[in-house]
Amino acid sequence: MGNMLVFKAIIGMPDGLRLLWEHGYRRAIVEIDSLSASKQLTGKPKIENESTLVCRIKLLLLQSWEIKVVLAF
């Protein structure tokens, strides 16, 4: 159940990050309302347990820009 909630919280992030990049934005704040998702995206890598979606987002976050992922309530 927990993984499904994380998936729902971040499913649109790769597309949103890609749009930011394509439109020339190099600084942004991404607000997320899932503590679990926030921890997965900002925590230390767990290669063997991370989903493909989380890995894709982390790769996008590594581009030459400043993106902050913050928890929003």
Q: What is the mean pLDDT of residues 47-62?
A: 85
C-alpha 34: how far from its chain's center?
Answer: 11
Q: What is the mean pLDDT of residues 5-29?
A: 93
Residue 18 pLDDT class (50, 70, 90 cuts) = very high
Q: What is the mean pLDDT of residues 37-64?
A: 84
* Nearest Cα residue to 53 out of 67, 43, 2, 4: 4
pLDDT at site 2: 62
3-state SS record for the chain? CHHHHHHHHHCCHHHHHHHHHHCCCCEEEEEECCHHHHHHHHCCCCCCCCCHHHHHHHHHHCCCCEEEEEECC
Domain borders along the chain are 2-71
pLDDT at site 42: 85
